[in-house]
Amino acid sequence: MGELELLRADHADAVLDFELENRGYFATSISDRGDDYFEHFSDRHAAMLADQDAGRGAYYVLADDDGSILGRFNLLLGDEGVATLGYRVAGRAAGRGVATAAVGEICALAAHQGVRTLRAATSYSNLASQRVLLNNGFRPVGPAGPEDLGGKTGKWYERDLLDE
């Protein structure tokens, strides 16, 4: 379901719609982005594109056949082959294997970009995200604090991509 696409400028409206439509759903398991995020969305979208162009990140959307967004998957590229993965999937796509499949694709894409270790943090209460990571070969490696999870606590997970 859906096609993973590298974030583009023309995705802005669909991504904003995705974030607004799912704001309440997301708030049940992850911290709310706050009103400021939505008020300055166009600036944030442009900044992500600039980071992507500069090689500091790789940002993907999972686009449905009608152009709407089913999910977002962000790779923050760090030093020495380590990247941090963040993702969110629309409520209408939850529980259908969409996140698990897309994270699997992201792992392969990251390995081809030279990422050796992929990290992701999830809150203790976000059991669905924990399953997605475990199903994709991530292993828990330690605590994630409020600064990592927008005020929540949880665990960091890692996956070694050297064998990809």
Q: What is the pLDDT of residue 79?
A: 87
The stretch 46-55 carries a mean pLDDT of 95
Q: What is the pLDDT of residue 111?
A: 94
- 6 pLDDT tier (thresholds 50, 70, 90): very high
Q: What is the pLDDT of residue 12?
A: 94
- Please say if the pLDDT value at position 163 is more than 70: no
**Tokens representing residue 77 in the block:** 């590229």
pLDDT for 131-162, tens place per residue? Answer: 999 999 999 999 999 988 888 899 999 999 98
Strand partners, 121: 156
What letter does residue 66 receive in the DSSP assignment? T
Q: How far apart are CA 63 and CA 29, in angstroms?
A: 22
pLDDT for 79-134, tens place per residue? Answer: 899 999 999 898 898 888 999 999 999 999 999 989 999 999 999 989 999 999 99
- Under 8 Å CB-to-CB from 60, ≥6 apart: which residues? 4, 5, 6, 7, 72, 73, 74, 75, 102, 106, 109
Q: What is the pLDDT of residue 77?
A: 94
